Amino acid sequence: MGRKPVFRQDVSCPSCGSHHVVKCGRPLGRQKFLCRDCGKYFLGDASYHHHSRKLREEALRMYANGMSMRAISRVLNVPLGTVFTWIKRYGRKKHEKLVELWGRAKELVKGKVVAKVVDEMWTYLYKNARAFYKWVFTCYVYTKLGVYLIYSVGDRDESTFLEVKKYLPDEGRWVSDDYNLYFWLKDHTVVSPVNPNESFHSSLRDRLIRFKRATKAVNRSIRTMMYSIALVLWERRLIPEFVA
């Protein structure tokens, strides 16, 4: 017969709430425990804060509407590191979910696409004490089922545009400005520089200006920028909601 599990009524795991914990050393004189149910370690005398889902979603909405991480931390009384973790973790999940929806929508909208309005905007990415230009390609997809937006981030070249194009069906009229990258598209209409994407670009540029600042409160990478845009799209409901 094996040893009986030890249940301590005076100590519970801060992650899962289990009392099935055992002592696991005393680093720097502080008692360390191991939870046998979830496998996580914790300190017996530490203060662990559990934030509600409502608070987390409020922080993400604030960020998507242009509020800085430090300001969110001050207003909600949440550690700055926690705010950054939320944005990185849930921004990544939102982006991955968007990519999945784009792939599924591509099949659903076949034969139902009215127009694909594509444009690009510049923004900054601060890195190694310098601010570099980066480009965000956006494409509004107008279909008989609804409207949604696809985007990609990178240089102002064909490879970044193709990251958008691969999620689009072949049919439907292309609408763009006179940038020469779009001239090879079939069924293509050129409009003035002010197209439907410009209003979205104006608000998005304000939200991405944080990546130009020389601050430690922002992880300045293209991937984090993509996560930030994903949060904006979910906040503004520019996603293919008709995909079940």
Give how many domains the chain has, as a whole number.
2
Q: Does one domain contain both 112 and 9? A: no
Which residues in 97-114 are b (16+ Cβ under 10 Å) and which e? ebeebbeebbebbeeebe
- Is there a single domain that holds both residue 92 and residue 168? yes
pTM of the predicted model, to two decimals?
Answer: 0.75
84 and 20, same structural domain?
no
Distance CA 10, CA 206 (A): 51
Residue 182 burial (CB count, 10 A): 17
Are 85 and 25 members of one domain?
A: no
Q: Give the integer Cα–Cα distance in Å for 77 and 47.
A: 16
CATH of the domain at 23: 2.20.25
Beta strand 113-127 pairing with 41-43? unpaired
Q: Are residues 111 and 19 part of one domain? A: no
Assigned token pair, 22: 């055992």
Q: Are 27 and 11 in contact (CB under 8 A)?
A: no
> Same structural domain for residues 6 and 101?
no
Closest CA to 190 of 139, 118, 138, 135: 118
User: Per the domain annotation, does 66 fall within a domain?
Assistant: no
Q: Residue 41 belongs to what domain range? A: 1-48
CA distance 134 to 145: 32
Q: Does 72 fall in a domain?
A: no
Q: What is the C-alpha separation between 121 and 189, in angstroms, rounded?
A: 19
- Looking at residue 4, its pLDDT comes to 66
Same-domain status, 16 and 90: no
Cβ atoms of 151 and 227 closer than 8 Å:
no
**What Cα–Cα distance (Å) separates residue 172 from each residue in 100, 102, 158, 159?**
21, 16, 20, 21
The one-letter code for the residue type at 45 is D
Residue 75 domain flag: no
Going residue by residue through the chain (244 aa), what tens digit of pLDDT does each one get?
456 666 777 888 877 778 888 888 888 888 899 988 888 888 877 665 678 889 999 999 999 988 888 899 999 999 888 898 899 889 999 999 999 999 999 999 999 999 999 999 888 776 665 667 889 999 999 999 999 999 999 988 999 999 999 999 888 999 998 888 888 888 888 887 657 788 888 888 878 776 655 555 555 678 888 999 999 999 888 888 888 5
97 and 180: one domain? yes
Length of the chain measured in residues:
244
Q: What are phi and psi of 61, to 5 degrees?
A: -65, -40
Residues 90 and 143 in one domain: yes
CA gap 237, 64 in Å, rounded: 12
Let me know if residue 69 belongs to a domain: no
DSSP class of residue 4?
Answer: P
